[in-house]
Chains A and B, each alone.
Chain A
Amino acid sequence: MILFIAGTAALVVAMLLVLARLYLGPDLYDRVLALNSFGTLTVLLLGYIGFLTERPDFLDIALLYALINFVGTIAVLKFFRYRALGRGLGSQDGPEA
C-alpha cells in the first residue's frame, strides 16, 4: 500500500512537471511530447487508482486509454507533417506542401 501511495505521489509530481512544460514549452514538439507523456502518466495514474481503491479492473480501462493516446499522438504528428489527415504515409508530396 505504501508503495502504491509513493508511486501515485511520484506520478503526480511528474504530471505537474509535464504540465509546466506544456505551459512554458517554447517549441511545438515540446508540447506534443508533453501531451503524449501526460497521456501515458494518466494511464499509469488510472492503474494506480485501481490498485489504491482495490479495483484492479481499472487496468483494462488504462490499456484502452493507452491505445487512444497512441492513436491521438500519431494523428497530431501526421497532421503537423501533412497539414491534412486524408493523405497517407505513402503519398509522394512531403512536408513542404
Chain B
Amino acid sequence: MIIVGELINASRKAVGDAIKREDQDFIRKLAIDQAEAGATYIDVNAGIFVGKEGHYMEWLIENIKAVTKLPCSVDSPDPKVIEQGLKLNGDDVMINSISLEKDRLDAILPLVAGTPYKIVALCMDDEKMPETTDQRLKIADQLINKLVQNNVKLENIFVDPLVQPISTDKSYGMGFIDSVSEIMKTYQGIHTICGLSNISYGLPERKFLNRNFAVMAIAKGLDGLLIDPLDKKMMSSICAAETLAGRDDFNVKYLKAYRKKMLEV
C-alpha cells in the first residue's frame, strides 16, 4: 500500500499556525512521526497562503528533507508552486495533482511530461463533478491517455476517481469502488489513490466510516491512500485488508505488524 501522509497541510489549523511562526521543530516532528508510522510519501500543502504559497512550500520541503529520506508529494493547484517544490526534489517525487480541467491540464502536463515523477490524476473536468462510475471512467481514460502520450509511464500514474459523500447519494460509495476496480483491471500497472474523508461528510463517527470504506476499496484493488498515518486503527485496518485481499505473501506484513505490536484491533 502506498501511504501518502496528509498531515503537513496548512489548512489544518495547528500546521497553518506553525508555518506562520516558521516553527521548524513542529514541522520536522510531523515529518518524522509520519515516516515512523509507515508513510511512503509526505504530502506538502501550503495552499492557504495566497501569494506566499511558493515560499512556504519551499520552506516546508527543506524542513522535511532535513529529517527524512521519504519522498514528498507536492500538493498545490498552482503550477508555479509545484514547479518551485519540484526543484527541491530529485526524481522521486509525487505531484498532487493533475486533472482534466483545461487550465490545470495545460499547466501541469508540461511539468510531468517525459519525467519519472509520480502524478495524482484527479477525475475532474470542467463539467459537473463525476457521480457515476461511467462518468469517472470516461475522465480517467482521457486523462491517462494524455499522460501516456506525453511519456508518463502507467506505473507512475495514481488515478483518484473522486470520493463523494454517501450521505447525499447512496450510490456514491460503490460508484467509486467500481471505478477503482475497472481502472486497475483495464490499465495494468497503474495505481489508484484517494482521500477518504469525503465519504463520511454529514455523518457521525466519520473515522469509523472512513476506515471501513478503505477496507472495501482495498478489496477491489485500491493501492494508494492519502491519510493520517498516525491513525493506528486506520493503519491496522489497511494492513488487515491487504492481507485479506491476497496482497501479502505468507501474511508476512500482517505478522510483522502483529509482532511489532502495531495492530490496534
Chain B binds chain A: no
List A residues at the B interface (Cβ < 8 Å).
none
